[in-house]
């Protein structure tokens, strides 16, 4: 009997209260999960006070770093975030890279497992920059390197120095001179190589930007006196002011002092040694580029004689030397030499450089 009454009640309600076709009911949703049946005519009024027509309007799929997905009410998002869920799939996934160019999207919790079997997190971890002797560059996957090497490409110099591999220090004296020095800097930049520039102090004013660029490229700025005298013919005081005047201008340009000095003409005596409180850097490979203003001669002078640990003497004030440098730099790298600064050469070859002493090479 009870059941019958209940049935009749429902029946009665359906008959009497069921909306007509023109006024059918719809279900609306609140962001906190409540639902309500409203007549179609009232829909907009409900929308105006925060109700939504679609379930998807009030819910959000959230993601866990292990790949689980969950649909939550909008009002629950913050609470789920607080316990490690994320709003975007990209927040819990990562694209990984293989050395042969394959890519894979994995869950964050899977990253370490994929690393263990040869996948990498960054595309830059599986690619390398290759250089051509004419200055072209290309980024290739590691597995492509050998094929590119067969057709004349080589690995551009890396920023990091490998102490186990050959290295030399290119040094350029007597500059800066805008036209030729900038060509050399451009070539160094192209191949990510470094050199040491022994600058003359009175050539710095107006060329401070060139020294800044040297410094920015990781090159070393050394001291080649203020106006290039033969220091062996100077008094101790004269020698000191030649060095300090140049250091002052170097400091004004790049905010640091020189750590090495190259005496003009390689001219050194006991007064010079004691007056200069820095290491005196000579050379082991003289290109004689100041005498033979011929790029081919200078290129051959370097490539035919170069040895690991050499300090190579050139002059950046000659156009022919800049032209030679444009070939020497990629050729040395292609031959397996790392082009480093004088300070780096000493460091990686295991030398300390006490002041007041002369150095020809770091072999
Ligand atoms: Zn000089």
Q: Give the per-residue pLDDT at 119.
A: 97
Mean pLDDT of the chain: 93
State pLDDT tens for residues 145-182.
Answer: 999 999 999 999 988 999 999 999 999 999 999 999 99
User: Which is the catalytic residue, given 315, 316, 318, 343?
Assistant: 315
Q: Tokens for 259, please give them.
A: 């750590």
Q: 163 C-alpha to center of ligand 1: Å?
A: 30
Q: How many Cβ atoms are within 10 Å of 66's Cβ, its own excluded?
A: 11
For residue 94, the Cα-to-chain-centroid distance in whole angstroms is 21
State pLDDT tens for residues 35-81.
Answer: 999 999 999 999 999 999 999 999 999 999 999 999 999 999 999 99
What is the rounded CA–CA span in Å between residue 144 and residue 161? 23
Q: How many Cβ atoms are within 10 Å of 129's Cβ, its own excluded?
A: 15
Q: 329 C-alpha to center of ligand 1: Å?
A: 21
Q: 333 C-alpha to center of ligand 1: Å?
A: 26
Please report the DSSP string for 98-126 in residue order.
-TTS-EEEEEGGGHHHHHHTT-BSSHHHH
Residue owning tokens 């050399």: 184
Q: Give the per-residue pLDDT at 283.
A: 98
Residue 9 in this model has a pLDDT that exceeds 80: no
Q: Give the per-residue pLDDT at 54.
A: 93
Helix axes 178-190, 208-216, angle to 10 degrees: 10
Q: Give the per-residue pLDDT at 49.
A: 94
Residue 17 in this model has a pLDDT that exceeds 80: no
Residue 108 in this model has a pLDDT that exceeds 80: yes
Q: 230 C-alpha to center of ligand 1: Å?
A: 10
Q: Is 18 tagged catalytic?
A: no
What is the rounded CA–CA span in Å between residue 39 and residue 25? 4
Full-model pTM: 0.77
Q: 323 C-alpha to center of ligand 1: Å?
A: 19
Q: 315 C-alpha to center of ligand 1: Å?
A: 7
What is the rounded CA–CA span in Å between residue 273 and residue 230? 13
Q: 339 C-alpha to center of ligand 1: Å?
A: 21
pLDDT band at 23 (very low <50, low <70, confident <90, very high): low
User: Which is the catalytic residue, given 173, 174, 247, 310?
Assistant: 173
Find all residues with CB under 8 Å of 128, minimum gap 6, and list them. Answer: 139, 140, 142, 145, 155
Residue 63 burial (C-beta neighbours within 10 Å; 0-12, 13-18, 19+): buried
Percentage above 90 pLDDT, the chain: 93
Q: Give the per-residue pLDDT at 159.
A: 87
Residue 5 in this model has a pLDDT that exceeds 70: no
Q: Give the per-residue pLDDT at 135.
A: 92
Helix axes 236-254, 208-216, angle to 10 degrees: 70
Residue 21 in this model has a pLDDT that exceeds 60: no
Q: Please report, for residues 58, 199, 292, 296, 324, the alpha-carbon distance to residue 318 in angstroms, rounded to integers and kept in the order given.
A: 74, 14, 10, 14, 10
- Residue 300 is classified by DSSP as H
What is the rounded CA–CA span in Å between residue 71 and residue 29? 15
Task: Give mean pLDDT, residues 244-250.
Answer: 98
Which residue from 253, 280, 344, 290 is spatially nearest to 172, judged by alpha carbons? Answer: 290
What is the rounded CA–CA span in Å between residue 307 and residue 310? 6
What is the rounded CA–CA span in Å between residue 309 and residue 346? 9
Name which residue leads in pLDDT, 6 or 113.
Answer: 113
Residue 20 in this model has a pLDDT that exceeds 80: no
Task: Give mean pLDDT, residues 116-140.
Answer: 95
Q: Is 247 tagged catalytic?
A: no
Alpha-carbon torsion (213, 219, 220, 222), positive or negative: negative
pLDDT band at 355 (very low <50, low <70, confident <90, very high): very high
Q: Reading across the β-sheet that carries 127-131, which strands appear in turn?
A: 137-141, 127-131, 154-155
Q: Tokens for 190, please give them.
A: 């192209």
């Amino acid at each position: 009997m009870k059941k019958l009454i209940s049935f009749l009640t429902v029946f009665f309600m359906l008959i009497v209260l069921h909306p007509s076709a023109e006024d059918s009911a719809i279900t609306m949703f609140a962001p906190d999960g409540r639902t309500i049946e409203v007549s179609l005519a009232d829909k907009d009024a409900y929308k105006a006070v925060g109700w939504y027509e679609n379930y998807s309007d009030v819910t959000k799929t959230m993601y866990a770093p292990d790949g689980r997905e969950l649909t939550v009410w909008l009002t629950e998002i913050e609470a789920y975030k607080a316990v490690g869920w994320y709003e975007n799939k990209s927040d819990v996934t990562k694209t990984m890279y293989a050395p042969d160019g394959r890519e894979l999207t994995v869950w964050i919790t899977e990253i370490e497992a994929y690393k263990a079997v040869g996948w990498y997190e960054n595309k830059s971890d599986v690619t390398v920059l290759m250089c051509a002797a004419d200055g072209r560059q290309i980024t290739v996957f590691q597995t492509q390197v050998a094929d590119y090497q067969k057709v004349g490409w080589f690995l551009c110099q890396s920023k990091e120095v490998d102490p186990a591999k050959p290295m030399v220090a290119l040094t350029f004296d007597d500059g800066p001179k805008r036209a030729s020095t900038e060509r050399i800097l451009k070539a160094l930049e192209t191949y990510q190589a470094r050199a040491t520039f022994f600058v003359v102090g009175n050539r710095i004013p107006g060329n401070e930007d060139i020294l800044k660029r040297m410094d920015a490229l990781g090159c070393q700025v050394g001291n080649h006196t203020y106006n290039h005298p033969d220091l062996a013919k100077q008094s101790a005081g004269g020698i000191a002011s030649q060095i300090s005047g140049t250091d002052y201008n170097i400091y004004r340009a790049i905010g640091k002092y020189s750590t090495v000095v190259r005496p003009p003409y390689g001219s050194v005596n006991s007064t010079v040694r004691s007056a200069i409180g820095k290491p005196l850097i000579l050379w082991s490979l003289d290109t004689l580029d100041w005498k033979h203003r011929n790029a081919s001669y200078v290129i051959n002078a370097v490539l035919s004689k170069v040895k690991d640990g050499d300090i190579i003497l050139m002059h950046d004030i000659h156009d022919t030397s800049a032209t030679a440098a444009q070939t020497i730099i990629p050729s040395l790298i292609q031959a397996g030499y790392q082009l480093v600064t004088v300070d780096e050469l000493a460091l990686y070859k295991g030398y300390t450089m006490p002041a007041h002493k002369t150095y020809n090479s770091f072999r």
